[in-house]
Structure 1
Amino acid sequence: MAAVYVIGFLEGTGAHAYFLATGGLHTYSYAPLPVQLLFHALLLLDPLVALLIVRARPGGPLLAAAVMVLDLAGNWDGAWHAVLADPVAFLRPVGLLPMTVFGIFVVFTALPLRQALANAESAG
């Protein structure tokens, strides 16, 4: 389970780094300013989550869940009208659909993973 977190958050890091490299600071100009700031902050938050999970810190899964809730809220807010206009266009293996599936996975597994990491920490 932890490996899925690390892979997912490192993929997010790569995506945000790519967007910044190709679009510059205004790459998210389509979004409201708080969402733009969040998306830029994910360039730091995503690898931080991955690092906390790799280091088996119990707070990692909780931060992961918070990051995914905010990330999905920002992405869904920006895409909502497009999804309503053409929902089938979002049924592809890149973009909003896999992000949403990953976010749901993280939210539903954060507490069990946190408990497992806390138990491992207290046993070690």
Structure 2
Amino acid sequence: MAGAYVIGFLEGMGAHAYFLATGGLHAYSYAPMPIQLIFHALLLLDPLVALLIIRARPDSTLLAAAVMLTDLAANWDVTWNAVLAHPMAYLRPVGLLPITVFAIFVMLTALPLRRGLRPARPLNLLAAGDV
């Protein structure tokens, strides 16, 4: 499960890096300024989440969920009218559909993965009366 997180967030970083490389700072000029800032911030947040997941930090899953919820809300906000006008155009394996599927996956698995990443409690070899 952690591997899917890492792959998904690194893919997101790659997409945002591509958009920045091809469109510059105005790559998201179609979106309101707060959403543009979110999309640019994802270039840093996505690899940070991936790194924290690789390092097995339990709270990284909560950050992953927050990042994906924000990313999903921003993407749906900028495409909502287009989706209403042409819903079938968004049932393709790039763009809004995979972002939505990945966000749902992260939301459903963040707490179970967090429990799995918790460090094991140290084994207390001494009983209370052995001291």
Where on the TM-score scale, by shorter chain, does this alignment land: which range?
Answer: over 0.9
Structure 2 residue corresponding to 1:122, chosen from 90, 108, 120 = 120
Q: Where does residue 4 of structure 2 map in the other structure?
A: 4
After TM superposition, where is structure 1 displaced by more than 4 Å over at least 4 residues in a row?
none
Instruction: Report the alpha carbon displacement of residue 94 of structure 1 after superposing the two structures with TM.
Output: 0.6
Instruction: Point out where structure 1 has 5 or more consecutive residues left out of the alignment.
Output: none
CA RMSD of aligned residues (A): 0.8
The C-alpha deviation readout for 1:59-101, integer Å capped at 9, x for no partner, is 1110000000000000000000000000000000111001100
TM-score under structure 2 normalisation?
0.91
Instruction: Report the alpha carbon displacement of residue 122 of structure 1 after superposing the two structures with TM.
Output: 2.6
Higher helix residue share: 1
Q: Where does residue 53 of structure 1 map in the other structure?
A: 53
| Distance in 2 separating the partners of 1:32 and 1:59 | 30
Q: Does 1:66 align with 2:61?
A: no
1:1-124 alignment to 2 at 5 Å?
1-118=1-118, 121-123=119-121
TM-score under structure 1 normalisation?
0.96
| Distance in 2 separating the partners of 1:26 and 1:91 | 27
Instruction: Report the alpha carbon displacement of residue 17 of structure 1 after superposing the two structures with TM.
Output: 0.2
Instruction: Point out where structure 2 has 5 or more consecutive residues left out of the alignment.
Output: 123-131
Q: Secondary structure at the match of 2:120?
A: helix
The C-alpha deviation readout for 1:104-124, integer Å capped at 9, x for no partner, is 000110000011101xx1347
Q: Secondary structure at the match of 1:29?
A: coil
Letter in 2 for 1:34: P
Greater C-alpha Rg: 2
| Distance in 1 separating the partners of 2:26 and 2:3 | 32
Count of equivalent residues = 122
